[in-house]
């Protein structure tokens, strides 16, 4: 199987409070979006922590990945995908 230069979306379900504090997640900006579907390309890696919502992210040519409230997710730089927001999202995020 050829994954080219992109790596997989990494989903950490229900990370510990200590892990979130180590990353200083609560200091990251917040992004919100209503139910919708849109294409996205990551110019740099993004790590985010979902405060609410439910999303399916489908990498171009890849398998859909479900994520939502309580998940800490890392998206690789260079990945193109489609976001399908199934219930409104609020998340902390950090690029790079």
Bridge partner list, 27? none
Residue ranges per domain, the chain? 10-95
Q: How confident is the model at residue 92 (pLDDT cuts 50, 70, 90)?
A: very high
The CATH homologous superfamily of the domain defined by 10-95:
Jelly Rolls (2.60.120.10)
CA 79 to chain centre: 12
SS3 8: coil
Q: What's the whole-model pTM score?
A: 0.91
State pLDDT tens for residues 10-46.
999 999 999 999 999 999 999 999 999 999 999 999 9
Q: What is the mean pLDDT of residues 66-70?
A: 98
Which among 12, 25, 16, 15 is positioned nearest to 65, based on CA atoms? 12
| Mean pLDDT calculated for residue range 79-88 | 98
Contact present, 7 and 59 (Cβ < 8 Å) = no
Alpha helix segments (H runs only) across the chain: 17-23
Reported as type and span, the H/E element at residue 41 is: strand 36-41
């Amino acid at each position: 199987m050829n994954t080219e230069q992109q790596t997989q979306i990494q989903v950490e379900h229900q990370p510990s409070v200590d892990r979130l504090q180590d990353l200083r997640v609560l200091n990251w900006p917040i992004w919100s979006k209503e139910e919708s579907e849109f294409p996205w390309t990551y110019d740099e890696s993004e790590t985010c922590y979902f405060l609410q919502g439910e999303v399916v992210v489908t990498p171009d040519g890849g398998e859909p990945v479900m994520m939502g409230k309580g998940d800490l997710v890392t998206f690789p730089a260079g990945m193109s995908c489609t976001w399908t927001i199934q219930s409104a999202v609020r998340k902390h995020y950090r690029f790079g």
